[in-house]
Amino acid sequence: KAGVTQTPRYLIKTRGQQVTLSCSPISGHRSVSWYQQTPGQGLQFLFEYFSETQRNKGNFPGRFSGRQFSNSRSEMNVSTLELGDSALYLCASSSTGTGVEKLFFGSGTQLSVL
């Protein structure tokens, strides 16, 4: 079985631009979560989707949004990028439906905002 696939692997953007990150979960997994990882703040929850519904959103500004498609693939979008958005964005999928148990992570998208 293929693992969680995130594209692109690296992104360089400038302030004010917007970006879209993609995540393909493990086949059969319907729950997809997104986390932001930075050296200073560690792993911070962004949002979780299950069957195209956002079930929870973390404490991030409205510039951060996401969606999930009928095939469980998910995208997240960040508009009006700021320097502080530079981070590793991780996607995780789970078969349990809880959004917290048995998470399988992708390798992440490293976003650099200049």
Which residues sit at the interface with another protein, rule CB under 8 A? 4, 31, 33, 42-45, 48, 50, 55-56, 58, 90, 92, 98-108
CB 14, CB 113: distance < 8 Å: yes
* Nearest CB to another protein, comparing residues 66 and 108: 108
Spatial separation of the C-alpha atoms in residues 3 and 60, rounded to whole Å? 27
Among 68, 85, 66, CA closest to 76: 66
User: Which CB sits closer to another protein, 12 or 14?
Assistant: 12
Shortest separation between residue 43's beta carbon and another protein, angstroms: 4
Closer residue to another protein (CB): 51 or 80: 51
* Least separation in angstroms between CB 15 and another protein: 26
Token output for 92: 């995780």
C-beta of 83: minimal distance to another protein in Å?
Answer: 22
Considering the complex, state which of residue 15 and residue 102 has its C-beta at the smaller distance from another protein: 102
Closest C-alpha among 53, 43, 59 to residue 91: 43
CA–CA dist 55, 51 (Å, integer): 10
